Structure 1
Amino acid sequence: MTVSPASIRNIAFVGHPSAGKTTLVDALAHALGASERKGSVADKTSICDTEPEEQEKGHTLQMKTVHAKHGGLLFNLQDTPGYPDFVADALSGIYGSDLVVGVVSASSGVTFNLRKKLELAAELHRGRAIVITHLDDPNADFDALVEKLQAAIGPQCVPFELPDGSASGFHKVTNVLEGGEVEYRRQLMDRVMDGCEDGALLERYLETEKLTDAELHTHLPAAIEKGTLVPILVCNPVSALGLPEILEFFREYAPSPETLPTFKLKDGGAPIPLEPTGELLGVVFNVRSDPHVGKVCLARILRGTLKASDHIEGPRVTGKGEKAGGLFHLVGGKKREPTDAAVAGEIVAFSKVE
């Protein structure tokens, strides 16, 4: 598979504990073909929560990356811990991604934990979206939760998908662009155009309040990347209700490395432009210890191509560089897929490099 930056989807899932992040990633991994069966946190078969302590507690304790290829796209789904004790792993997942998805349980609502993680994503200029889970909870109220999200995070939080009801009335999901609440559709389109820098298109929209499909595919991801839109999606990952619609959203509208042509390393640092053919440059954003291969580094390639045969230089290794013990993609907590190379925009792992 030839990889272009436009075909890559680097997505981190953040939120409060028990919001449904891992269950959602398990469901997406199965739908994308990364796992033969849909894993479950409850029965200890999750593709992400593979450590004994995670299975015992029923919570993610380390960030896990699920790599998958599907329909001509390359996905890197990053499941992050919810507990503040493990916030470093959550922050690294945010740092390495292009889209940060805040997973919100309709039963617990908007928490300080979620709000702070989404604020950090905004500070790093990462695109943001929200997935509401547990909408089948007896006390769930979709419209009330949307109001709370807008009050806590900002008016840029607008539904892209609508449920047909809450609690026992939740049976179907509808795209607001295809029908449903007119006011939400107007809010969504207005937010898309708030990020538009095409004066002629903006003038035409003000007259007609319409955009073509091609214009939406161009300007909706850009609005997410610029922060003028935080789309709200709906899903029950256990039953898979709304899951195909979320996958379709990620496919069609999630920002790619090409949508974000520069990568911000830190406050005050100069953004690094995406250059697929430039000299190799990457950033390690997560390191974990493996009992079999030692230190495993997870890196995002910012420029050029990293090949399995390359020698890697870093702050501690200069001059000749150091040969990696292997170049591979992570598929959850246990599985690895060897690869010959990783291009600009990709997330890849390697071992035995200091």
Structure 2
Amino acid sequence: MSGRPGGAGTLDGATRQPNSPAAIRNVVVVGPAGSGKTTLVESLLASTGVIHRAGRVDDGTTITDYDEAEIRQQRSVGLSLAPITVDRIKINLLDAPGYSDFVGELRAGLRAADCALFVISAADGVDGATQALWLECQAVGMPRCVVISKLNHPRADYHQVLAEAQAVFGDKVVPLYVPVAHDGSDTDDLAALLSQTVSDYSNTVGTGRVVHPPTKDEQLLIEEHRGPLIEAVIEESEDESLMDRYMGGEDIDVKLLIDDVETAVARGSFFPVIPVSALTGLGLDELIEIITQAFPPPSEHQFPAVYTIAGKHVTGLSCDPDGDLLAEVIKTTSDPYVGRISLVRVFSGTIRPDATVHVSGHLSNFASEHHGHQDHDEDERIGALSSPLGKTQRLINAAIAGDICAIAKLSRAETGDTLSDKVNPLVMEPWPMPTPLLPIALVAHAKADEDKLGQALQRLAAEDPTVAIEHHRETKQLVLWCLGEAHADVLLDRLSTRYGVQVDQVDVRVPLRETLTSASRGRGRHVKQSGGHGQFAVCEVGVEPLPTGSGFEFVDKVVG
């Protein structure tokens, strides 16, 4: 990219917090399980000086995978926030799980973010899970950059994976950079196709790059890929004369091309590809340039639908720190020492500690199934305000429109709830929640667990809107509905480790029903003549089906 300033916003010198939405980028990291998302986030944290050394997923030492279930399973199971600061811009990195059982966490991350890094492993390519995640991003119109990771893997094949991505996701998936391989060594260099320079990472592992002009062979490689890139950029340009000038042999100004790339990326119609090796640092600087220069700030993000408590549609809201407060709880967790912690995306206004806000939860207005999620409207006082780095809470004095923060001790706030001014309460339409399809019947292991089980399940439902709790009226069973076996494993682990409740799984009882398919008749006789008056009766019984949904009809008749 060019090095054009990323925005007009700045960071407050004392708190290092942004004082304008233009100085914020909210980026969700999306990709299938095992693609290297968490490792990429760790490398970005280390390369920008947030942490001294990148952790490892295998060792359970990463910033964003801190949950006990994540460390045990060695994969992300929940959304996690890790901010970095580059060139006076705060970048909120949201590490989202890639496994399908945790799609609810992914959708929460897509709601909170304004753009995405879509990670594909150079060793694994594009599979069904990758396609499903791309469709999730596409459904919400998320601007995204494709990151082909794990270039240092023995089975890595960058060009094959790039071809697969273009075949599946379309011809707007175009590389801005290409890796330069050297004989007898790993990929050390990265060629920039627009600026026609080469970044050398061979002697600067984890510390940056050295930019130099291309050699003759490197120039041939650049020219091979530069033409298709320029044509793709011109197709996205608002200057209709640009294609004619290019076809006529005119050398298009690089700055003009870069401006068009940044505009196309921001509106989500162009998806640049950047090869990255998180372990060696290759491509990290280029990735940060894309985030700060091409990704849109929160002020360009379209608001979700907003309503009053009475259901009237609200318009005219904007990403203004001085506007009316509008924020949404995107994740809820329970800390044994702090209590409930709500991760919140601020869409309008400013949140400050000790302020009183209105908490609105009206899931029933937007979803037909909402077991365990009762509607509520309450005023609550905000506790401590912080900017999380994984599980570490760093206190701040305000969170402006466009930023993401954590709020402590909102006792009634649940994931998907809306925070607004108490004098002007509002409700945001929540993101679409997947329907849980796996039932698990639970019974308390002991009497002491029975007393705590109900409250623990309600807390799980408050944290995770993809969970449904059902007290079955016919089987009398307590049923926990989940998205899959991995999801169920995490929920049961949290019941035990976080809330101290031991449960046993039992078979789910299925209430079966039968119905009549045709008419039938039967006759019975009653005869008694031993002593006294004799008894005689004939009983005829007839049954026949009624139209579906009409219920039952009983008719009796006595003759004689």
Q: TM-score, normalised by structure 2?
A: 0.58
1:170 maps onto 2:210 in alignment: no
| Alpha-carbon contact 1:264-1:270 (below 8 Å) kept | no
1:322 maps onto 2:380 in alignment: yes
Q: Of 250, 253, 262, which aligns to 2:302?
A: 262
Write the mapping of 1:22-33 to structure 2, written as runs, cut at 5 A: 22-33=38-49
Which residue in 2 is equivalent to 1:285? 330
Does 1 or 2 have the higher relative contact order (CA < 8 Å, sep 6+)?
A: 1
SS at match of 1:263: coil
Which residue in 2 is equivalent to 1:331? 389
Change (3 A) 1:257 1:183: farther
| Alpha-carbon contact 1:161-1:176 (below 8 Å) kept | yes
Which residue in 2 is equivalent to 1:346? 403
Q: How far has the Cα of 1:217 moved from its partner?
A: 5.4
Which residue in 1 is equivalent to 2:85? 69
Q: Distance in 2 between matches of 1:216 and 1:193?
A: 8
Q: How far has the Cα of 1:20 moved from its partner?
A: 0.6
**Which letter does structure 1 place at the counterpart of 2:195?**
E
Q: Distance in 1 between matches of 2:192 and 2:36?
A: 22
Q: How far has the Cα of 1:196 moved from its partner?
A: 3.6
**Which letter does structure 2 place at the counterpart of 1:263?**
F
Structure richer in helix, relative to its length: 1
Q: Of 96, 108, 121, which aligns to 2:112?
A: 96
1:128 maps onto 2:144 in alignment: yes
1:294 maps onto 2:339 in alignment: yes
Moved more, 177-186 or 306-315: 177-186
Please give the per-residue CA displacement for 1:237-275, whole angstroms capped at 9, x wherever unaligned: 1122222222233222222224x2423459x99796433
| Alpha-carbon contact 1:68-1:331 (below 8 Å) kept | no
- Larger Rg over CA atoms: 2
Change (3 A) 1:256 1:206: farther
Write the mapping of 1:208-219 to structure 2, written as runs, cut at 5 A: 208=250, 210-213=252-255, 215-216=256-257, 218-219=259-260
| Alpha-carbon contact 1:62-1:81 (below 8 Å) kept | yes
SS at match of 2:360: coil
SS at match of 1:244: helix
Q: How far has the Cα of 1:29 moved from its partner?
A: 1.1
Please give the per-residue CA displacement for 1:89-118, whole angstroms capped at 9, x wherever unaligned: 122112211111111111110122222222
Q: Distance in 1 between matches of 2:78 and 2:101?
A: 11
| Alpha-carbon contact 2:43-2:279 (below 8 Å) kept | yes
SS at match of 1:16: coil
Q: How far has the Cα of 1:135 moved from its partner?
A: 1.9
| Alpha-carbon contact 2:195-2:254 (below 8 Å) kept | no
Q: Distance in 1 between matches of 2:269 and 2:128?
A: 21
Change (3 A) 1:216 1:270: farther
**Which letter does structure 2 place at the counterpart of 1:52?**
E
Change (3 A) 1:193 1:122: farther
Q: Distance in 2 between matches of 1:6 and 1:228?
A: 21
Which residue in 1 is equivalent to 2:223? 182
Change (3 A) 1:271 1:241: farther
| Alpha-carbon contact 2:191-2:222 (below 8 Å) kept | no
**Which letter does structure 2 place at the counterpart of 1:76?**
N
**Which letter does structure 1 place at the counterpart of 2:189?**
K
Change (3 A) 1:25 1:299: same
Q: How far has the Cα of 1:219 moved from its partner?
A: 3.2
Please give the per-residue CA displacement for 1:275-318, whole angstroms capped at 9, x wherever unaligned: 34321112222222222222222221111222223212121575
1:56 maps onto 2:113 in alignment: no
**Which letter does structure 2 place at the counterpart of 1:309?**
D
| Alpha-carbon contact 2:38-2:95 (below 8 Å) kept | yes
1:86 maps onto 2:131 in alignment: no
- Alignment length (residue pairs): 349
**Which letter does structure 1 place at the counterpart of 2:385?**
L
SS at match of 1:312: strand
| Alpha-carbon contact 1:63-1:78 (below 8 Å) kept | yes
Structure 1: which 5+ residue stretches go unaligned?
none
Q: Distance in 1 between matches of 2:286 and 2:229?
A: 17
Which residue in 1 is equivalent to 2:154? 138
Q: What fraction of aligned residue pairs are identical, expressed as a percent?
A: 29
**Coordinate RMSD, CA, aligned:** 2.7
Q: Distance in 2 between matches of 1:264 and 1:195?
A: 26
| Alpha-carbon contact 1:61-1:81 (below 8 Å) kept | yes
Please give the per-residue CA displacement for 1:218-240, whole angstroms capped at 9, x wherever unaligned: 43232113222111111111122
Which residue in 1 is equivalent to 2:280? 239
Q: How far has the Cα of 1:197 moved from its partner?
A: 3.5
Q: Distance in 2 between matches of 1:344 and 1:243?
A: 28
Q: Distance in 2 between matches of 1:273 and 1:303?
A: 6
Q: Distance in 1 between matches of 2:283 and 2:86?
A: 18
Which residue in 1 is equivalent to 2:290? 249
1:35 maps onto 2:56 in alignment: no
Moved more, 225-234 or 72-81: 225-234
SS at match of 1:313: strand
Q: How far has the Cα of 1:24 moved from its partner?
A: 0.5
Change (3 A) 1:305 1:197: farther
Q: TM-score, normalised by structure 1?
A: 0.88
Q: Distance in 1 between matches of 2:173 and 2:314?
A: 29
Change (3 A) 1:51 1:263: same
Structure 2: which 5+ residue stretches go unaligned?
1-10, 13-17, 197-220, 307-312, 362-375, 413-560
**Which letter does structure 2 place at the counterpart of 1:163?**
P
Moved more, 276-285 or 95-104: 276-285
SS at match of 2:298: coil
Q: Distance in 2 between matches of 1:206 and 1:219?
A: 17
**Which letter does structure 1 place at the counterpart of 2:229?**
L
Q: How far has the Cα of 1:75 moved from its partner?
A: 1.1
Q: Distance in 1 between matches of 2:144 and 2:329?
A: 22
